[in-house]
Amino acid sequence: MDRRRFLKGLGIGTAGVVGVAAPAGAYTVGQQRGASTIVGDYAQSVNAGQRRGAVTVWWSVDTDSKVLALTFDDGPTSQFTASVLRVLGQYHVPASFFLIGELVQRRPDDVRRMLDEGHEVANHTFDHYSATRQSPAETLSTIERGADVIAAISGTRPRWFRPVRGHVTGALVDAATEVGHDIAMWSVSRDPGIGTAADDVDGVRTNYIEGIHDGGIVIFHDGIGRSAFEFSGPDELLLTQRRAELAALPDVIERYLADGYEFLGISDLIDRHAPNH
C-alpha cells in the first residue's frame, strides 16, 4: 500500500482538467491507496481580472488511526436514500451525503432526516453536469445554487463540495473556493479500475473491503445522477450498479467495524486526523 503521499504547491489554470491526480501508480479510477492531499496557492484568470486564493483537495487523510469517512453521492432519491439511512441507523454510523440541488428541492424531508440523524450534508452541484462541459460562469452558478438550496434547509452553506465524476478544472476550483467550499474526492470505491460488473455484488463487496485503509474516504451512491430527474427517466445501468453497491453496504460496514474502524463525517476526519491542517 502506497502511504504518506503529500503533495504541495499546485498551480491551476482555467483551461482543461487540472493535474490534481495522485502520484502515478497510486490513483486509479477513484481509488488512492494512500493519504493524498493537495494544498496550494493558485492564480486564476477570470473575466473580472486575476483572482488569488487557496484550495485544498482531499482524497484521504494520512494517519495511523483506524478512521474512515463513509460518503454517498447523487441523492436524495426515492429509490435509495431511505434504505441507506435505515442501514446507517441500524449500525449507528455517521456518513456524509453529497447532494444534487435539483433533488434537494424535490425531497427536502430526506435532507432534514439526514441532519436529524447526525449525518453531514455537502454539495454535489445543482444540476450534476461535469465542469468539463460547462463555462466558468455555468460552473460557478451550479455550485452556488447547490450550496444555497442546501443552506435553505440546514441554515448554512455546506463546507464540502465534490465535483461530478471527479472532474476538476481550474474554473471549478476557483468557483468552489469563491462559494466557500473545500473539495473532497475519494480513495475507496466499488471498482478500483478492474472492470467489476455492474451487478457483481460479491466483487463490489470485495473491492470495498480490500481497498480500505486508515484515513480512507469511501464513496457509495444513493442516487443515479441526472437520470433521477431527466425526462428520459432512470438509467438502468446506474440502477443496477447502485443496487449492487447498496446490497454490499451492510457487509462492508460490518467488516469495517469488525476491523476496528471508527466512522466519521468528512469534517471530523479532516479536523481530527489531518496533519498540519
* Integer Cα distance of 273 and 277 in angstroms: 9
C-alpha separations of 159 from 115, 129, 132, 151, 179 in Å: 14, 20, 23, 11, 9
Query: What amino acid is encoded at 9 in this protein?
Result: G
- Chain-centre distance for alpha carbon 66: 20
Q: Which of 73, 110, 200, 214 is catalytic?
A: 73
**DSSP letter assigned to residue 101:** H
Cα angle: 221, vertex 227, 230; to 5 degrees:
145
Is 62 known to be catalytic? no
Is 221 known to be catalytic? yes
**Grid coordinates given for 71:** 460518503
Give the contacts of 227 (CB within 8 A, at least 6 positions apart): 233, 234, 235, 238
The phi and psi torsions of 136 (rounded to 5 degrees) equal -55, -40
| Upstream peptide bond of 76 is cis (omega within 30 degrees of 0) | yes
Burial state string for 98-125 with b = 16 or more CB within 10 A and e = fewer than 16: bbbbbbbeebeebbebbeeeebbbbbbb
Q: Which of 124, 128, 213, 221 is catalytic?
A: 221
**DSSP letter assigned to residue 199:** T
Query: Do 145 and 101 meet the contact criterion of CB atoms below 8 Å apart?
Result: yes
Q: Which residues does the annotation mark as catalytic?
A: 73, 221
